[in-house]
């Protein structure tokens, strides 16, 4: 199957402006997300300057920027400011603050005010259901469930993603489910099968899109040739014992 045959939307996840510009030229990339950890790793020091540069380069596809305050009043002020930067801006709100307090009342206020929230760092169906209750029915939203990290903990994320997608379709049809932190390209197909609307994919994984649908016999031969060529380049040798 081709990526183009899937219903799911691919959002690029990163914080390098030049990379984002390159990916913007790829029609398969339907949106962009970032977070403070990715921004710090990319060397971003001016949050607002970075965001404005991104939005200048990407004016017509969804872009998610995250609040970084920990007190809910300050979070709200940041969220309203971020939302004002462009009509294509989604505001990422963590499902709790750093002490574990649920962000539901803040999400409810922002959603009621028309802010498109991308509620992030969710891991459980209980969190999904609580967030859904907080969302205004008439305002679009994104619910980011970290399926990759769920899988890292030895739990199959497919059941929760399937249940979450079904729940959203019934009670909040304007809200979209996002499969966050994928670990391999197969996750794109799994997320599509589960009914997710969006999957975030890192630039490293996006480079592998060309492998989708690749002939497996040809891939096998290329792998054998790689091993052979690398052994030859390293000039490995084995002294074979005379067993006679």
From the candidates 30, 92, 208, 239, which is the catalytic residue?
Answer: 92
Task: Give the residue from 40, 112, 45, 121 showing the smallest Cα distance to 83.
Answer: 112
Separation CA 38–CA 123 (nearest Å): 20
- Alpha carbon distance, N-terminus to C-terminus of the chain: 54
CA 20 vs CA 86, 113, 117, 184: distances in Å = 17, 29, 21, 20
Whether residue 92 lies in the annotated active site: yes
Do the Cβ atoms of 106 and 95 come closer than 8 Å? Answer: no
Question: Which 8-state DSSP code applies to residue 191?
Answer: H
Separation CA 196–CA 161 (nearest Å): 7
Task: Give the residue from 93, 78, 11, 21 showing the smallest Cα distance to 47.
Answer: 78
Place of tokens 């499969």: 179
Which are the catalytic amino acids? 92
């Amino acid at each position: 199957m081709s990526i183009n045959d899937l219903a799911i939307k691919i959002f690029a996840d990163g914080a390098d402006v030049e990379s984002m510009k390159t990916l913007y030229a790829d029609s398969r990339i339907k949106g962009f997300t970032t977070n403070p950890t990715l921004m710090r790793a990319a060397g971003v020091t001016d949050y607002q300057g970075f965001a404005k540069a991104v939005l200048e380069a990407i004016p017509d596809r969804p872009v998610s920027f995250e609040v970084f305050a920990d007190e809910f009043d300050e979070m709200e002020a940041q969220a309203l400011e971020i939302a004002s930067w462009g009509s294509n801006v989604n505001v990422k709100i963590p499902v709790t603050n750093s002490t574990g307090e649920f962000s539901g009342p803040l999400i409810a206020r922002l959603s009621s005010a028309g802010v498109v929230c991308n509620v992030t760092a969710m891991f459980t169906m209980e969190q999904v259901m609580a967030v859904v209750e907080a969302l205004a029915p008439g305002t679009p939203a994104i619910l980011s469930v970290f399926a990759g990290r769920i899988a890292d903990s030895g739990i199959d994320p497919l059941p929760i993603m399937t249940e979450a997608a079904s729940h959203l379709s019934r009670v909040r049809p304007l809200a979209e489910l996002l499969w966050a932190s994928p670990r391999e390209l197969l996750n794109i197909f799994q997320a599509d099968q589960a009914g997710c609307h969006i999957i975030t994919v890192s630039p490293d994984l996006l480079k592998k899109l060309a492998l989708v649908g690749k002939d497996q016999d040809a891939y096998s031969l290329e792998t054998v040739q790689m091993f052979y060529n690398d052994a030859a380049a390293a000039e490995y040798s084995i002294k074979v014992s005379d067993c006679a």
